[in-house]
Every structure is written in C-alpha cells, then in structure tokens.
Amino acid sequence: MTVKIAVLKENAAGEKRVAATPETVKKFIGLGAEVTVEAGAGAFASVSDQAYADAGAKVADRKAALKDADILLGVQGPEPASIKGAKASAWLVAGLNPFGERKRVDDYAGLGVEALAMEFMPRITRAQSMDILSSQSNLSGYKAVLDAAAEYGRAFPMMMTAAGTVSAARVFIMGVGVAGLQAIATARRLGAQVSATDVRSATKEQIMSLGAKPIFVENVAGIEGEGSGGYATEMSPEYQKAQAELVSSHIAKQDIVITTALIPGRAAPRLISDVQIASMRPGSVIIDLAVEQGGNVEGAVAGEIVEKHGVKIVGHRNVPSRLAADASALFSRNLFNFLSAFWDKEAGRPVLPDEDEITAAIRLTKDGKVVNERLLG
Ligand code: NAD
C-alpha cells in the first residue's frame, strides 16, 4: 500500500507559508509516497500549482486531497471542521499551537486523527533538523531587524559623508535565543552598534562572539548553563527588579530595541515599561517579537504599529510568514526530516514507536483521546 500525503492550503488569516515545497514533494515521492497538494497551497510562498505538479504531486481540492490521505501536512493546525473527511487514523503534522488552541486538540481527538505538534519537538541533537521553532525563529530574528530599519528614520551604519557624519544606530536585543542571535548578527551586518541581554548566562559568550556587548544583571543570579532543554523559566522578583533597573539605564541610550523573550507554556515576560519607553529618544523603534504570546513591551499591540512618546512599537503577527518562501522551505524540510527519520521501509510509511522520546513529546491525540502529558498534566 502506498502511503498518501496531503499538503493542506493554509486558511488562517495572514498565513502565507506552505508545509511542502516541490523539493520535499520530490523527496517524499522518492521514499515511495503519493503526494496530493491542495490547489493554491503555495500561492503566497511563490510556489505555483504547476511547480508541485512538475515535482510529481497531484493537485486537487481539499475534499479530494483529504480522501484516503494517511498524513496531512500543515503549517498551522487546520480548523477541525475543515478536515472532516479525513481518515480516522490519519496523522495531522503541523504547528498546532497546543496550549493556545487547546479546544482544537479535543476536536482532533474527536475526529480520530493522530495530531502531532511539531513545536513540541524535544530539543535533542537528533531532532535539531526537525525543529520548526528554531528554523522559523531564525528568520524572525533577521526580519525583525529589517522591520526596525524600515520604520527607523535614520541609518544603521556610521557614514562619513561630505555633508557630515551619520552616527551608527544603537541596537539592543533582549532575549538571545535563536531569534535574538540572528538579530544580533543581522544588526551587526548592517553596521549598528549592538548590545544584548538574556537571563541565561550561557548566552554571554555567544553575544561577545558575534561582536556585540553583553548587558547582564550581575548582582542577582540568573540561569546558569542551559536549564531544561535550553529554555528559560520565570525569574524571581529580585531578579526582575534588578533587570528593570539595568534596562532603565541602558534603554534610554538605544535607538532600536528588539525583544524576543519567551517562556514555554507561559505568557511572555514583561521587559519594557511605558516609563522606560518615555525615556527613549523620539524616532526610536521597538520590535516586540513576543507580541502574540502576551508581549515583552507595555503597549505593544499584535498586528499593529503604535506610537508612544514618539517611539514606534512594532507588533507584527506571524513574522516568519513575512518571509514566506524561505520560511516555507525550512519548515517543509523540518517536516520531511521528521517523517523520513521514522520511515519504515517495509511498512512503506513512517512509524512512530510509542516508547520513542520524540513520539511522546509531539503526539497530542491517538485513538480518539488526548494523550500528551503536557496537556493532561
Ligand atoms: P525562546 O524562544 O524560548 O526564548 C528566547 C530567549 O528569551 C531565550 O534565550 C530566553 O533565555 C530568553 N528569555 C526568557 N526570559 C527572559 C527574560 N526575562 N529576560 C531576558 N531574556 C529572557 O528560546 P529559543 O530561541 O527557543 O532558544 C532557547 C535555547 O535553546 C537556546 O540556547 C538555543 O540555542 C537552544 N536550542 C537548542 C536546540 C537543540 O538542541 N535541538 C534547538 C533549538 C534551540
């Protein structure tokens, strides 16, 4: 039996990415799969239906794509009602936002599909190439700097011209995970003077190795080493106070601030207050990459650019989607790397062993029930 893969067209507002590219379609076919792409799925990521067809996929409407499909691929989780015709045992592989869309998880269970949440991929070496959070955050960090540059009424690099000198922009990055590191590198490439901070002390060296200045709370202990899976946790009130004081004195001298701080499963930590924004020079720009998780910046609004005290606060939603072609290419490879790693030649399809660490982490539903520990616990 040939395994059938359906690539869904994204229906969420503003979502331009797609979960497979002609490259990954070819690779799936190479493994023996049959691939059907929903018509128009790649339109906003610069991939035509013809390009999918040339790669060997069938192009069909959703109903036909769902029929008999064993595996559904998506970027975001589809509305449960929109996949009603899917086979009961089919896998749904996508970024399912399990905490934010908890009700949907129940509905997927109700449909009988096996929902696999790619953002729950464990941060282990074996799974690095399957990590959608990393691949998409990297592009977000890059785009955040370009978005800041576009809103900023001044230049980034120092320029010595016949009409006088333009001074370099001072850029401060808060949160030095995958997005923050790429933001530092991008701002440096544009010629800015860059500083950065994080609660994890391991990032200090990374900041310096990229040619930026670390700004760290020294009198209260932060997180030593990498913590659980490299993620941050909520900090003590003492730390938060010390951090606020440090940021207050630093931020008034910055032109651009990019915040990326997240804590898995919780609201994003508040890092910048309205009073601190008021201390910045008019014309400064703040980009809040955590705006959809509650925001690092007071007054940031998801999907909007607001101005407070002459400072622009940018809260774009779904930043990876703003680079839809590259974001799709990387996301699609993450999905392929995951499914091909579990490909069982005899079965002619991927098989997820129950006892595998990856299975336990990403499987949300099976046989009509919600089975994921993080959702049940
Ligand atoms: P993230 O998106 O969860 O958070 C972004 C950053 O914000 C983190 O560096 C975090 O420490 C920081 N942060 C949280 N609270 C803060 C606060 N109050 N003030 C300042 N900063 C705060 O993180 P991420 O980008 O997903 O990466 C986290 C770590 O995981 C990194 O070290 C990364 O290299 C590592 N990682 C490992 C793997 C792997 O081994 N497979 C894959 C990806 C990332």
Looking at ligand 1, which residue's alpha carbon is closest to its atom 15? 261
In tens, the pLDDT along 97-134 reads 999 999 999 999 999 999 999 999 999 999 999 999 99
Backbone angles phi, psi at 116, to 5 degrees: -120, 115
Backbone angles phi, psi at 311, to 5 degrees: -105, 130
Looking at ligand 1, which residue's alpha carbon is closest to its atom 8? 177
Looking at residue 230, what is its pLDDT? 67
3-state SS, residue 335:
helix
Looking at residue 265, what is its pLDDT? 78
Residue 206 appears among annotated catalytic residues: no
Which has the closest alpha carbon to 149: 181, 192, 100?
192
The CB of 217 under 6 Å from ligand 1? The reply is no
Token pair 């192009």: residue: 59
Residue 52 appears among annotated catalytic residues: no
Q: Are 80 and 48 in contact (CB under 8 A)?
A: no
Looking at residue 90, what is its pLDDT? 98
Catalytic member of 231, 239, 279, 356? 231
DSSP type of residue 44: G
3-state SS, residue 39:
coil
CA-based max dimension of the chain: 72
Looking at residue 119, what is its pLDDT? 96
Beta pairing, strands 164-166 & 159-161: antiparallel
Task: Give CA–CA dist 70/91, Å, rounded.
Answer: 6
The CB of 358 under 6 Å from ligand 1? The reply is no
Looking at residue 26, what is its pLDDT? 98
Looking at residue 186, what is its pLDDT? 98
Looking at residue 218, what is its pLDDT? 84
Catalytic member of 48, 50, 82, 128? 128
Looking at residue 349, what is its pLDDT? 97
The CB of 200 under 6 Å from ligand 1? The reply is yes
Task: Supply the pTM of this predicted model.
Answer: 0.94
Q: Which atom of ligand 1 is nearest to the CA of 127?
A: 41
Residue 128 appears among annotated catalytic residues: yes
The CB of 199 under 6 Å from ligand 1? The reply is yes
Q: Where are the alpha helices (DSSP H) in 152-211?
A: 178-189, 203-209
Distances (CA, A) of 180 to 143, 157, 340: 11, 20, 30
Which residues of the chain carry a pLDDT beneath 50?
none
What's the burial of 114, exposed, middle or buried (CB within 10 Å: 0-12/13-18/19+)? buried
Probe ligand 1: pick from 178, 206, 217, max atoms within 8 Å of CB? 178
